[in-house]
Amino acid sequence: MANTGKKPRIVVLGAGLGGTIAAFEIKEAVGNKADVTVVNKGDTFHFVPSNPWVAVKWRTREAIEVNLTHIFRRKGIEFFTCGAKAIHPKDNKITLSTEMELFYDYLVIATGPELAFDEIDGFGPEHFTQSVCHVDHALAASDVFEAFARDPKPIVVGAVQGASCFGPAYEFALILDTELRKRKVRDKVPMTFVTSEPYVGHPGLDGVGDTKGLLESELRQRHIKWITNARVEKVEAGLMHVEEVNEDGSTKGHHQLPFGFSMMLPAFRGVEAVRGHEGLTNPRGFILVDKHQRNPTYPNIFALGVCVAIAPTGKTPVPVGVPKTGFMIESMVTAIAHNFKLILAGKAPTHEATWNAICLADFGDGGVAFFAQPQIPPRNINWSASGKWVHLAKVGFEKYFIGKVKSGKSEPFYEKLALDLIGAHKIKP
């Protein structure tokens, strides 16, 4: 479908946490000066941070999803729900899964990642471990967990080599502990946390505040053993083979961990539709961007969220990626929206995202919060804290964010005011 209108067409590829908010904010920024189109696989937004709750039946699928069709229509945003088969950056077009061709003037890639379960034998929901990366996975995990709770055995939770999203692994391990204690079967379940991080509380960020001390303390108090610098070699039914390495990368030892239930987060890579374009992606398929979130080779392509290429914070014995936290993603959204306003006025983009991080990690009956400014060290603010208030804050944030999506708002004025008061800005001055 060619863009036959006079106004430029901005296509947002993906309608997850970043893409949905980006569509709202870009439309508000450009007004009638451009048409905004969203391409997504399916018509539904899922609040991914709630997936660990879904996996223990603390939430239903319906509670964390929003149908976007009528919301985008109300905002004047065109919506294709068939998904993309491939992008063609040299031709400024997308081939949809229906084989229809959609042309664009500007493209914002917000696809999220592809989950690389296939990189380890026996790994993933189609084999022997569970996942909370997608609501479908979380629902499947909840059924497996229910069966497990009737016949308790050891549990293994964590994140494999190359993973870049560690928060949900910590959350889920401690949520499982909370739920098993509620069911009065925790005493029958030895638990092990297995992670590629060099130390507990690293989460791909070399720690924030005292996350090392806070998370080690939580694991100790809840009798959860851990293995760091871990590389999962393969998974069999009820048995995980793990290599533990030294600081120099040499083998420290091998572990054979029996389990009756396991949830391990995978490594990510770019989705198939965007991979294989020189100058657009790195070898893992993540989108290369400059300080304005724009691709250097194709300056009419922008990217935000988990699909963006970010170098690790430092060398680690086992590969560890950098997480893209919610607030960091929202700062990318705001920078792109503001830059579009300049571009459509014939000016060069100047806005840069702060990449600050505000994180609430829920443990079911408590949690850990941190604020990193910026997310990647060295930082101006490096703060963390724990307490029961974090659980309540996470519940409140879930309701607030889903409410924003339902209303078609990216950032109400009172949210910006509150963030400005604590110095959590989305755009660099």
Report the distance separating Cα 374 and Cα 392, nearest Å.
25
Cα distances from 334 to residues 41, 328, 359, 429, in angstroms, run: 24, 10, 18, 13
Catalytic residue among 82, 133, 307, 359: 359
Selection from 306, 269, 256, 284 nearest residue 109 by Cα? 306
- Give the DSSP H/E element, type plus range, for residue 302: strand 301-303
Active site residue 165: yes
Catalytic residue among 82, 133, 165, 307: 165
Report the distance separating Cα 53 and Cα 60, nearest Å.
9
Write out the DSSP string of 341-381. HHHTTT------B---EEEEEE-SS-EEEEEEESSSSS-SE
Active site residue 359: yes
Cβ within 8 Å of residue 263, ≥6 positions away: 55, 129, 130, 131, 132, 141, 157, 169, 172
Report the distance separating Cα 272 and Cα 160, nearest Å.
21
Instruction: State whether the Cα torsion 215-221-222-223 is positive or negative.
Output: positive
Report the distance separating Cα 139 and Cα 53, nearest Å.
10
β-pairing verdict for 9-13 and 106-109: parallel
116 and 268 in contact (C-beta within 8 Å)? yes
What φ, ψ does residue 122 adopt, rounded to 5°? Answer: 75, 15
Report the distance separating Cα 391 and Cα 414, nearest Å.
22
Active site residues: 165, 359
